[in-house]
Copies of this chain bind each other. A is one copy, B any other.
Amino acid sequence: MKTLQVIKIGGNVVDDPAALERFLYDFSEIKGAKILIHGGGVMATQMAERLGIKTYMHKGRRITDFETLKTVTMVYAGWINKSIVATLQSKGCNAIGLSGADCNIVPATRRSPTPIDFGYVGDVNPGKIGSEELSALLERGCCPVFCAITHDGKGSLLNTNADTMASVLAIAMTGKYNVRLIFCLEKEGVLRDRNDESSILPRITEQDFTKLLEEGIIEGGMIPKLENAFAAIRNGVSEVVIKHASNLNNQRGTTLVQ
């Protein structure tokens, strides 16, 4: 089975031109099938501010009214996605920029307005990923670059969580590929001591994770990230790696395995 690397970069890397350039160079060097998923929240918040649109967040998730949907779609699917594609093309990587609406590859359902009305926010339908379409692109040597905009199939675009989108895409491709899922952050990996970037845990099983949770070593935003990652492993992804965006092609980082 061929290997497919599904790599996610967050808004902080996207927002730093030098870091992004370096990351995309590393990404372009990776041989074989690969998919990139990018965030862009920092830039979206700045653009909303310039447009006089107030940003409301609930537990780290953006409340997305229609004007905000327009803004995030412009920023994620427009400027960020196409800039990344142009940069990758200049480095010999045959990138194709996509949203989840394109070829209906990532259908989603608008989230229920209760208890919190997130507006135009969607949850991905994991069973309905267009893996055939994605395989066809990969087999032609194309490299899909996704922003986390999806649609409801009824004509509405939806703002989606990029981490979830990465996991769901990775899981959907396990039928045809040996899939590695890599989350690139501004952190070196999962740390034993959050204030010491050298205290990386190189390898964690789900059993270790439970223990680390009990010990209070893993906390905050890292918890849903790791839960999400282990769910991917339980669903057929070979390994999930959490690492600093500047370490894409070296061994540093935390590898999560079954």
Q: Which residues of A contact B (CB under 8 A)?
A: 47, 50-51, 70, 73-79, 81-83, 85-87, 89-90, 94-99, 101-104, 133, 136, 140, 142, 149, 151, 153-157
A8 CB, nearest partner CB in chain B, Å: 20
- Other than the known A76-B78, A89-B101, what 12 A-B pairs have Cβ atoms closer than 8 Å? A73-B82, A77-B78, A77-B81, A77-B82, A77-B97, A78-B79, A82-B101, A85-B101, A86-B156, A89-B151, A90-B153, A95-B103
A165 CB, nearest partner CB in chain B, Å: 15
Which 9 residue pairs are nearest across A and B when measured between Cβ atoms? Answer: A78-B78, A74-B74, A74-B78, A90-B155, A86-B151, A96-B102, A77-B78, A86-B101, A96-B103
A203 CB, nearest partner CB in chain B, Å: 37
Return the chain B residue nearest A142 by Cβ: B103
Q: How far is the CA of A89 from the CA of B151 in the complex (A)?
A: 9
Residue in contact with A83 in the complex, picked from B79, B97, B157, CB distance below 8 Å: B157
Inter-chain contacts of A86 with B (CB < 8 A): 101, 151, 155-157
Inter-chain contacts of A50 with B (CB < 8 A): 51
> Are A157 and B99 interface neighbours, CB within 8 A?
no
Return the chain B residue nearest A51 by Cβ: B50
With contacts A136-B136, A151-B89 taken as known, whether A99 is within 8 angstroms of B82 at the C-beta atoms is: yes
Inter-chain contacts of A97 with B (CB < 8 A): 77, 98-99, 101-102
Q: How far is the CA of A104 from the CA of B85 in the complex (A)?
A: 9
Q: How far is the CA of A55 from the CA of B208 in the complex (A)?
A: 58
Return the chain B residue nearest A151 by Cβ: B86
Return the chain B residue nearest A149 by Cβ: B82
Inter-chain contacts of A85 with B (CB < 8 A): 99, 101-102, 151
Inter-chain contacts of A96 with B (CB < 8 A): 98, 102-103
Inter-chain contacts of A75 with B (CB < 8 A): 74, 78
> Are A103 and B99 interface neighbours, CB within 8 A?
no
Inter-chain contacts of A79 with B (CB < 8 A): 70, 73-74, 77-78
Q: How far is the CA of A79 from the CA of B66 in the complex (A)?
A: 12
Most B CB atoms within 10 A — which of A89, A95, A101? A101
